[in-house]
Amino acid sequence: MGRIVGIDLGTTYSLVAYTDAATRKPVCLADEQGRTLLPSVVSLDPAGSVVVGWPARERLLRQAERTVYSVKRLMGKGLEDVREELQLFPFRLAPGSESVIRIQLGEKIFTPPEISAFILRELKRRAEAFFSEEVSRAVITVPAYFNDAQRQATKDAGRIAGLEVERLVNEPTAASLAYGLDKHQRALIGVYDFGGGTFDISLLRLQEGLFEVLATNGDTHLGGDDIDNLLAEKARAEIHQQLKLDVAENPELYQSLRNAVIAAKHALSAEERTTLRFPLDARGDYVRELTRAEFESWIEPIIERTLGPAKRALKDAGLKPEQMDEVVLVGGSTRIPLVRRRVEQLFRRRPHCELNPDEVVALGAALQANILAGGVEDMLLLDVTPLSLGIETLGGAVAKIIPRNSTIPASATEMFTTYADNQTGVDIHVVQGERELVKDCRSLARFTLKIPPQPAGLPRVEVKFLIDADGLLQVTARDIRTGQQASVEVKPSYGLSDDEVERMILESIEYAEADFAATQLIGARNEADAVLRATARALAEPQAQELAPEERREIEQAEAALRQALAGDDYRLIRERIEALNQATHHLAEMLMNAAMQTALKGKRADEVNL
């Protein structure tokens, strides 16, 4: 099938990895200087050339306004989503960034997926240099907390970079694989991922090779960047107080200060104290002794913010902290001793931190890429459904049974009934798509369930959708009363191109209002037909002969008004006329109910009546 690499597209650093065929172990690829980490930084030099990685990071000091970092925080976001944190970035937004963020770098304008594509392209080049061949396929990891827009933006970035994104894999699953936790027969695994720009907590159940996500929580606006910004702001405030100089007015100077506090943060992960030294102008240097205890007292509120989502995830999963069999630390920020202590206190067990926390997700991505490439046959990779799956209901509407982005294996069951009297079969039409009407979705399969003739609404038909680990969909329809069933196995259209999937999703948004009106009209017409049939049956009953002439006339007029409304497309008017007919037949319904009760009670003693 060809080589597939694993990529961790990170907020602060990005990596590319592969699985060695001889050892079957994942390895991160390094650059010419032996560095596996690629800073997720992109800069545009005055000549118009794009610079990526370490050289771009250095340009933060000299050309901050032409340099972008932490772009992962902007992926799939609109201006309102990130307005506050944009104040911390040195780059500017271009006009027209209200719905889609556009970044102004010098004379050029880029979207976040385009910036991410430069990073992916650099990783692609690194892999091609190592293998001496073209690399065009990749598995890319994303936070479990990423929404649809953020995931789509990541796929777009891969496409722009010339990579076929075979799979977007949740980072917690990748980390679990990297630690070999898939070798357990069964286990409950917590993955605490505290990176540069995002925090995720994921609780997984592993059972016989299957990873099941029990709960996720987190914050896409919480990460090591927040610690860096806090330290930089405290240092800036002290400099301003001591030397009457506001370094924030000089973007290059502020980035230099930011780099200095980041170096101090790194030092305090291994030492109890360090010296923060920052050269200024003729007014002297800013020099400050910083202890780990002081550092931890500053950042403790940020670390505490990670524990809230962790506790909520445990509550959502119905688990207690001590029930977790394994806890894995992911992300560079988990090197901070305070983080490790808080996680150990919460879960009451020492977390896994043996692997390089910056590399662990990329290593897992490489393992999953190897599975897709056919290198491993005894491991299972979970996927998600790209589009919703459902069946056609009366009037051409769609009843969605498995929504898009559901993790597979997946199953769901819904109950249905018949519309007409004495039906001898129920047609099951399986469709895929995001629109509300069958005509706007993709047809996958049809089959018929035979049932004995019964009055409308009496049969109970259970329709079950089951998607197995190979992506095969099986649809079963069963008559609850007789036990008779029929089924069909179909291959959902995972072969749809990304453009087709994107078009279908965009159309579901574009036509949402019209689709809603159409489904409301179908529902109103179906209800009106049922009410008219019920009214006709009621008027044919002997008790209806006792109606006063004016009551019968009122019912007939309400019937005629409803039929007239049915000829139009105003679902609100149809529902108004249904209500009017219900009101007109209220007395008739009471008469029929009384007659039915008298028949049921006839010839019975009081003690035989069970009320």
Per-residue pLDDT at 272: 96
Q: Residue 529 CA to chain centroid, in angstroms?
A: 40
Smallest CA-to-CA distance from 454 within 426, 418, 482 is with: 418
Per-residue pLDDT at 247: 86
Options 114, 171, 479, 559, the catalytic residue: 171
User: Tokens 């007939």 label which residue?
Assistant: 556
CB 441 within 8 A of CB 433: yes
8 noted as active-site residue? yes
User: In Å, how far are 197, 199, 297 from 149, measured between CA atoms?
Assistant: 17, 18, 36
Per-residue pLDDT at 500: 45
pTM for this model (two decimals): 0.59
Per-residue pLDDT at 577: 93
CB 444 within 8 A of CB 492: yes
CB 366 within 8 A of CB 27: yes
Higher pLDDT, 229 or 505: 229
Per-residue pLDDT at 86: 75
Highest-scoring range by mean pLDDT, 84-93, 321-330, 499-508: 321-330
171 noted as active-site residue? yes
Options 114, 193, 392, 515, the catalytic residue: 193
Per-residue pLDDT at 449: 86
List, for residues 362-395, the tens digit of each pLDDT value.
Answer: 999 999 888 888 765 555 445 456 567 888 888 8
Higher pLDDT, 473 or 345: 345
Confidence of residue 80 (pLDDT cuts 50, 70, 90): confident
Mean per-residue pLDDT of the chain: 83
257-271, 307-321, 408-422: segment of lowest average pLDDT = 408-422
d(CA 539, CA 552): 9
Tell me how crowded residue 109 is: count the other CB atoms within 10 A of its CB.
15
d(CA 608, CA 137): 76
Share of the chain above pLDDT 90, in %: 31
Per-residue pLDDT at 493: 35
CB 513 within 8 A of CB 406: no
Per-residue pLDDT at 414: 86
Per-residue pLDDT at 416: 85
Average pLDDT over residues 46-74: 84
Per-residue pLDDT at 516: 66
List, for residues 167-226, the tens digit of each pLDDT value.
Answer: 888 888 888 888 887 677 788 999 999 988 778 898 888 876 666 777 878 886 788 889
List, for residues 5-25, the tens digit of each pLDDT value.
Answer: 999 999 889 999 999 988 889
List, for residues 494-535, the tens digit of each pLDDT value.
Answer: 333 445 445 545 655 666 666 567 767 877 888 888 889 889
Structural domains for the chain: 1-179+357-379 (3.30.420.40), 182-354 (3.30.420.40), 383-496 (2.60.34.10), 513-601 (1.20.1270.10)
d(CA 593, CA 582): 15
Per-residue pLDDT at 607: 58
Per-residue pLDDT at 501: 46
Per-residue pLDDT at 495: 36
Per-residue pLDDT at 603: 64
Confidence of residue 470 (pLDDT cuts 50, 70, 90): very low
Per-residue pLDDT at 147: 58
72 noted as active-site residue? yes
- Which distant-in-sequence residues (6+ apart) come within 8 Å of 129 by Cβ? none
Average pLDDT over residues 404-422: 79
List, for residues 562-577, the tens digit of each pLDDT value.
Answer: 999 988 888 889 999 9
193 noted as active-site residue? yes
Is the pLDDT confidence value at 444 over 60? yes
Tell me how crowded residue 344 is: count the other CB atoms within 10 A of its CB.
14
